[in-house]
Amino acid sequence: MTGANSGIGWHAALELARAGGEVTIASRNTAKAEDAAQRIRERVRNADISTGRLDLSDPQSVNAFAERELASSRPLDILINNAGVMALPQRRESADGHELQFATNVLGPYRLTGLLLPALLRSASPRVVTVASGTHAMGGPVPITDLDSKASYKPIRAYAKTKLANILFARELQRRAGDRLLSVCCHPGAARTNLFADTSRLMLLSVFALYPLLQNAGMGAEPLLMAATLKDAKPGAYYGPGGFMELRGHPVETTTAPIAEDVAASRALFYELEHMTSLRYAF
């Protein structure tokens, strides 16, 4: 699982470990990953949990992490693409020159999923979970253009585009995989996490306005856990809180904005990601 050293990712990792799963916490900060793993071990006796260094915005880091995972020749039952950054105040670039939100939230998960496909396809019932956001509805129009926000950078707009891209990716992955794997997505609603630590002033003001509605990170993890473990999850399904405006509450299967259901936009995005990464999924 990516992004599991804190927030909803940590709570999801805790519950998966509690249920007896073998959990790998992938994080760009190895010290934080080890601390997160230790906090889980303190709560779950004999938790089967490991850590690995992974910076999704850096192709070399993604390649190295995938190589280590594939070297074990073990099947991978569930890949959870959870890590992300949100509404960075200024446009920044990744090691290979892409806008940092796009590189972390979209390109990195695309590359990681593609590289780990051999391990996923060794599983009897592999599943890929992609964590999106309700802000995806603001990410249009589709097909998505200016993926790197070179023509115009607006923090929340750039973030919303990446979250729309997450859903388009998840659904095109399902179409291409057929019955070889299950691809689903989810969103946590409004949860108190450190995702707000490096974000724009406008986003902080929005969070302040919504503060009474924010739920804790444990509740925010419930849609992720539903997406990862629901026995009869539907291909391409989308899970989120069932309460007020989908900001809080226990999870339910919900619907995405119409722009996230555009098949042509999903295919166009996948083609762009193939071109940018020189990585083509092989089923």
Question: CA 1 to CA 22: how far, in whole Å?
Answer: 11
Q: Maximum CA pair distance of the chain?
A: 52
- Token pair for residue 51? 């850590």
Residue in 110, 159, 238, 239 annotated catalytic: 159
- Token pair for residue 260? 């996230």
Q: Which residues contact 274 (CB under 8 A, 6 or more apart)?
A: 280, 281
Q: Is 159 a catalytic residue?
A: yes
* Angle between helix 155-177 and helix 263-277 axes, rounded to 10 deg: 100
Q: How far is CA 154 from the centre of its chain?
A: 21
The single-letter DSSP state of residue 144 is: -
Q: Which of 10, 272, 8 is nearest to 132 (CA)?
A: 8
| Amino acid letter for position 140 | G
Between the alpha carbon of residue 158 and those of residues 10, 67, 185, 235, the distances in Å are 25, 31, 19, 27
DSSP H helix total and E strand total for the chain: 11, 7
Question: CA 136 to CA 171: how far, in whole Å?
Answer: 14
Q: How far apart are the first and last CA of the chain?
A: 22
* Helix ranges, the chain (H): 7-18, 30-43, 59-71, 100-102, 108-115, 117-120, 155-177, 201-210, 217-220, 222-229, 263-277
Q: Which are the catalytic amino acids?
A: 159
